[in-house]
Amino acid sequence: MSRLRVLLPFGLLIAFWWAIKSGFDISDKLLVAPPQVWSSFRVLIGHGILAEYVSTSLSMIGIATLVSFAIGVPLGFAVGTNRYAARALEGFLRYLQGISGIAWLPLAILWFGFTHTTTLAIVIYTLIVPIIFNTMTGVRAIPENYILALQSLGASRLRIVTDVYFPGALPSIVVGTRLGMGYGWRALIASEMLVRQGGLGDLIFGARTFGQIDRIMVGMVIIGTLYIVVDRLLVQPVETMTLARWGVLRK
The count of other CB atoms within 10 Å of the CB of residue 196 is 14
Taking CB under 8 A as the rule, does residue 224 contact other proteins? yes
Taking CB under 8 A as the rule, does residue 96 contact other proteins? yes
Choice from 190, 195, 235, 243 touching other proteins (CB under 8 A): 190
3-class secondary structure, 62: helix
The residues near 68 (Cβ < 8 Å, ≥ 6 apart) are: 124, 127, 128, 131, 177, 180, 184
Nearer to other proteins, 116 or 178 (CB): 178
Nearer to other proteins, 48 or 247 (CB): 247
Site for other proteins in 204-223 (CB under 8 A): 204-205, 207-208, 211, 213, 216-217, 219-220, 223
Taking CB under 8 A as the rule, does residue 159 contact other proteins? yes
Site for other proteins in 47-76 (CB under 8 A): none
Taking CB under 8 A as the rule, does residue 105 contact other proteins? yes
Compute the distance between CA of residue 104 and CA of residue 207 in angstroms, rounded to an integer. Answer: 25
Q: Which of 100, 111, 101 is nearest to 60 (CA)?
A: 101
- Per-residue binding string, other proteins, 2-31, x by CB under 8 A, is ---xx-xxx--x---------------xx-
DSSP letter at 143 equals -
Residue 247 CA, chain-centre distance (Å), reads: 26
